[in-house]
Structure 1
Amino acid sequence: MDETPAYSESAFNDDGTGPDGLPAEHRMLPRTRISNAIDRFIMRIGNAASWIWVVLIAGIFTNVTMRYVFGRATVWLEELQLYFYAIGFIIGLSYAITWNRHVRVDALADRWSARTRAWIELLGMVFLLLPFAIAITTEAVPYLMTSIQLNEASSSPGGLPYTWILKSFIVWGFVLIILAALSRLLRCTALLFDRPRPL
């Protein structure tokens, strides 16, 4: 028997959130106070970062217009598009984990009980995602510090200065991924071990 608590379809808001304003799922893990706080924090950042895609589209439109209508190419604008794409993508990873929209094999998961799914998710977080994210963050910090010390800029003529700003998002993005993974981990342990106590 599937023990996963679930919202009824009528409890979903138009934006896909549940009554508490947090992402609603058809297969719910129990929520905890800490996981709710982490999820709300990541959702705020993700919602703010979603405007990057609007700016990216405006930048692409401007660049295409400059190139094909006015015959002028701007290197800094092309690089800025890459910056926005990279930032939006890396921030979006933690948002996808929070919304439970990351890649998984649902054809198998739909056949498993809630406890089996929670065990697999817990083991995946502990042995795969968290070690990988922590290793990347650990290596990215000195990489970023070197870039700041060198006041690194684009090697292309007319390119953007302050490349370290883009590189800093490797650290911020993976810190958010670690937080999102910890939130999911706490929700798994709440289901499996009743710790921390589910809300």
Structure 2
Amino acid sequence: MSAKPVDRQDNAGDHDALPADFNLPRTRVSNVLDKFVRAIGRATAWLWVLLVLVIVLQVALRYLFNMGSIQLEELQWHIYAVGFILGLSYCLVEDRHVRVDVIAERLRPKTRAWIEMLGLTFLLLPFLTTILIQSVPYIWSSFIQSETSAAPGGLPYRWILKSFMFWGFLLLIIAALARFLRCTAFIFGLPRPIWPRD
């Protein structure tokens, strides 16, 4: 990746000349944040392998040995929940989240960048921050009560599972901040954008 000069007379006109399937430029800070989220996402991907192994073990125990295990059943949805909530930030960094593309592809690149920046500022980041703050007493309550599964013989330490709500939304905030910086680099040239090589 190489830096492309942004002082090209009029940034707005220049951005509008980009194709509809534009990519936002990166910045030094967004690269660091994205790299961190990607590393967590790649590590989290191994949870799906673990989930498959647990499911195969559960099925084998049930149908070959006529043995059921509530703990293995709960472990399955625990792994799924952790993998899903940690994977959300990876989707945002990779720009694989749901969009109304049929509308977005008709908009000018600068308009799309403005919509994304405003959406991050007034919708996504406030929502994520609220959930993050509200999750702390929720997790703490589970911890001090030594909450366990309601099922007989279920898994203990329910607070560990609940704590991933905090970590997952914190990662989402990091990913959203990186995306926000890329939007401001595209619209205002700040922080300094790093454009892909032509």
Q: TM-score range by the shorter chain?
A: 0.7 to 0.9
Contact 1:119 1:188 in 2 (8 A): yes
Paired positions, count: 180
> CA–CA distance in 1 between the matches of 2:159 and 2:17?
47
> CA–CA distance in 2 between the matches of 1:5 and 1:171?
38
Aligned-residue offset at 1:27 = 2.5
SS at match of 1:112: coil
SS at match of 2:61: helix
Query: What RMSD, in angstroms, separates the aligned Cα atoms of the two structures?
Result: 1.5
Aligned residue in 1 for 2:40: 45
Q: TM-score normalised to the size of structure 1?
A: 0.87
Aligned-residue offset at 1:66 = 1.0
Change in Cα spacing, 1:96 to 1:82, as seen in structure 2 (3 Å) is same
Contact 1:66 1:72 in 2 (8 A): yes
Q: 2:178 aligns with which of 152, 173, 183?
A: 183
Q: 2:23 aligns with which of 14, 28, 33?
A: 28
Change in Cα spacing, 1:86 to 1:103, as seen in structure 2 (3 Å) is same
| Bigger mean CA offset, 152-161 vs 82-91 | 152-161
TM-superposition CA deviations, 1:60-91 (whole Å, max 9, x none): 11111111121111000000001000001001
TM-superposition CA deviations, 1:26-72 (whole Å, max 9, x none): 53101111100000000000000000000001111111111112111
> CA–CA distance in 2 between the matches of 1:102 and 1:134?
19
Aligned residue in 1 for 2:95: 100
1:118 correspondence with 2:113: yes
Which of structures 1 and 2 has the bigger CA Rg? 2
Q: 2:78 aligns with which of 83, 108, 123?
A: 83
Q: Percent identity?
A: 54
**Structure with greater contact order relative to length (CA < 8 Å, sep ≥ 6):** 2
> CA–CA distance in 2 between the matches of 1:148 and 1:132?
24
Q: TM-score normalised to the size of structure 2?
A: 0.87
1:147 correspondence with 2:147: no
> CA–CA distance in 2 between the matches of 1:136 and 1:61?
34
